[in-house]
Each structure stands twice: as structure tokens, then as C-alpha cells.
Amino acid sequence: MKLSFYGAARTVTGSLHYIDAGGSTVILDCGMYQGPRLESHERNKKMPEKAVNAAACLLSHAHIDHSGSIPYLVKRGFRGSIFCTRATADLLRVMLLDSANIQQRDLEFLQRRGVPAVEPIYDIDDVEEALKRLVPVRYGSWFEAAPGIRAKFLDAGHILGSAVTLVEATEGSMTRNICFTGDLGRRGMPILRDPEALPACDVVLTESTYGDRTHPSGQETEATLAAILRDQAARRGPIIVPAFSLGRTQNLIYALYQIFKRGDAPRMPVFVDSPLSSKVTKIVSQHRDCFDDEALAVLGADGAPFYFPEIRYIEGVDESKELNDRSGAFLVLSASGMCENGRILHHLKNHIYKPNAMVLLVGYQAQGTLGRRLHDGAQLVRIYGEEIEVKARVQVLPAMSAHADRNDLMHYLSPVARSCGQIFVVHGEPSAAVSLGDAMRGMGCAQVEVPNPGDSFDVV
């Protein structure tokens, strides 16, 4: 019985891991690597034959860095089943179709500008073929993934439909319980339930995105956001927010709803400029079965907090372009969250040279992305081949993240750390992964590894 690591090893994106047991291989996730356009394209084209020949894919959730290479996997010849929760299956259609459309639109836009472009790695037809292989299952229900390998999903509390994957694998007379956290959510966050407790297991693959740092509380975050709104209202400037369409956008909208309702900041127009975000928000609002008690209470009293007088969901390109010349204070939420593609690039191009504008980064920014360069204080950035001076203020609000921080991860893993035989720390930049790995050793785990891409380990 073996565990092998290909993607999201000593980096955050591109999730892809293997379990070999009983003569079968299943893959955990099949995500896109996200970073600079050319580097990402080259890495995402290198789909291993081992993944193509796997019996099944166990998908933790619908974020593109965990699911975005599934159409390419199927295009390359994968014929197994793709197991996921029901909410994830609902989300995947819009997420993967959007990914295909973005690749095509970026190609066409760059070609018009005479900028070097790359061919999409898959198209809409490939997405449709991939969706035929989805097998939605309920949280907590065991299913056979392959001979000798069965699995079930537990609520991870990260985004709608996100799952901790518990795998029971058998090799000869040996049976081991292997747990993959996927992306783990935070305790006490709005809308979704907290992560389910981790059951007894022999092996854990844990994410470590924020394994070396902690987040401020939700109350502190809302207070900071309210202060930003008040400040920009006084400066009469726009707030440009790159946000992932799934999870981060809904959490931010929920926070804005609460702030405006309490009167903590002046009401201002809020534009959600992403057709994907509009579709995803509708799906999220329909899955009340995944909501926590607080969100259900708000829904019961006031209707969906995702729709209120100040908010406008933009669909057409012409409506989006109108925001370029808009004056006064307003907030634009647009994808992608790391500023690597989508409409957010147009908003940044049209606003970051303005001294009264603000770019508000509300999520993780991977190394090599435009979002990371803005996060690190770049004074000059290139967008669609044009060098633009950054005069807008850039503010970071990491506590909007739906990822567990170091304290959440320690709380989650501590009940099993001593009894668990092996822990593998993935989905984190080296400093974060190594830091969390050291903490796991301090808890008494017998074997802790921070694997490199391509590493393989015997399950003991």
C-alpha cells in the first residue's frame, strides 16, 4: 500500500495525490496549478499517465485548484468515476464551464492585443464529458471507489460541499484508514457548519495553507472591513476586491449585509462582476442543508443575505465596462481571487493607477501571481502586456479566508496526532508546511513528512 504525491506538494495549488492498494489506484483531487500564465499552462499539461489510468477520483471540493484539471484528465482518457458530495456536483458544472470559457476568452483577448498566448488545455465539450463521470454521494455514506478501497465524505466546513475524505484501503491482510483533509474550514465562520471531528485513522494528509500563522477573529475582521468602507466613503474612491467566486465571495457579501444592517458603515453600491459568482451564489443560497444555525436564523428573519438593495449582480460585458468611468465610493467583487485571469484584471487595469482607489485582498495569494505581487508591494505591474503604476492603496484582509489557520489545524489534528502512524503535510508553501509538520512532531506523531512532488511512501 502506497501514498504518492504529485501536485500541491510544497506548494498550495494543483492538488493531486495517489493511493495504491489492492491492485487499484485512486486519486485524491485533480486540481489546476495556479500561477503565472505560461508556467501554469506547462505544468497543467503534464497530466501523469498514472492519474489517467486510475480507477477513480475522490474529489474534496469544487475550487479550481482541486478540481480544475478534471476535464483534461478525462480528455486524456480517464474512464473512472469521480466521486464528490451533492453540493460539489452542483457547483462543478458552473465552475468547470467557466474555467473552459476563461481559457478561451483569454486566448482571444491576448491574440487581439498581439500578446503571446497559449491554447486552452480543454474546452466546453471536454467539460461535458467529464461531468458525465460524476457520482454524487451524501456526507457520511460509505461507497466503493475501487476493489479494496472504500470511502466516505465528512463535512470540511471550507466551502459549500467541501469534504474531508476518509478512505478505508485494504492490501492483503492489512487495512488502513487514510484521511485527506482537502481544504479544511475554520471554526465559528458564518454560513457553513464547522468541520466535523476527525475520526480515528492511521494516516492523515493535511493541508497547511496557513500552517504557520493565525487569523484574527470574525468580529475583528468585520470591524476592519467596516473601517475600510467608512474610509473609502470619505475618500470617494472605489474598492476593488479580487475574490474567488466560490466561498470567499459569499462570505464577503454576508459580511457586507451584516455591516450595512447594523449601520457600521455608510451604505454604498456593491457590484458582483462575475457571471460565475452570480451562478454560484444562487447555488449556495439553495443548499440550506449545509448552513449553520446562525445563517438559517438570518435566512428565516430577512430572506437570503446574498440579495439586498445595494447589491447588483452584473452579467454583461457592457455593464462591466460602465464601472470603468464610475465615480464616488463603490465596491467591486470580481474573479479571479489571485488576479490571474477573468474580469478582475480589467478592473485592476482601470483603477490601480488612481490614488483614491483601494485593492482589497481577502484571500491567499500564491507565489508568482499578480495578487501576490500586489500583496508584496509592487509599484509597477504588467496587466495584459501593459506596465501600470500602482497608486491605489493595497490592503490585505486575510481573516476573510475560509482556510483553517494554525490554531484550527492543531485543534483538528490533536485528537489523532499521537495515535496516528503517519502524517503528510501538503497544500502549503514550504515554510507553512514545515512549520505545521514540526508542530505535529511535537504532538507525538510517529512519522511526519512534508513530501516533495513525486515522492512515494509505504503505508505502515
CATH tag, 2-213+402-458: 3.60.15.10
CA–CA–CA angle 359, 218, 253 (5° rounding) = 55
**Which pTM was predicted?**
0.88
Do 87 and 161 touch, CB atoms closer than 8 A? yes
Domain positions in the chain: 2-213+402-458, 218-400
> For residue 364, what pLDDT is reported?
79
Residue 268: name the closest of 224, 314, 322, 330 by CA.
330
C-alpha cell at 296: 438559517
Q: Which amino acid is at 187?
A: R
Instruction: Cite the DSSP H helix spans in 352-429.
Output: 370-375, 406-417
pLDDT of residue 302: 61
The pLDDT value given to residue 368: 84
- CATH for 218-400 is 3.40.50.10890
The pLDDT of residue 300 is 66
Q: Enumerate residue ranges in the chain where pLDDT < 70.
A: 300-304
pLDDT tens by residue, 318-354: 999 999 889 999 999 998 888 887 889 999 999 999 9
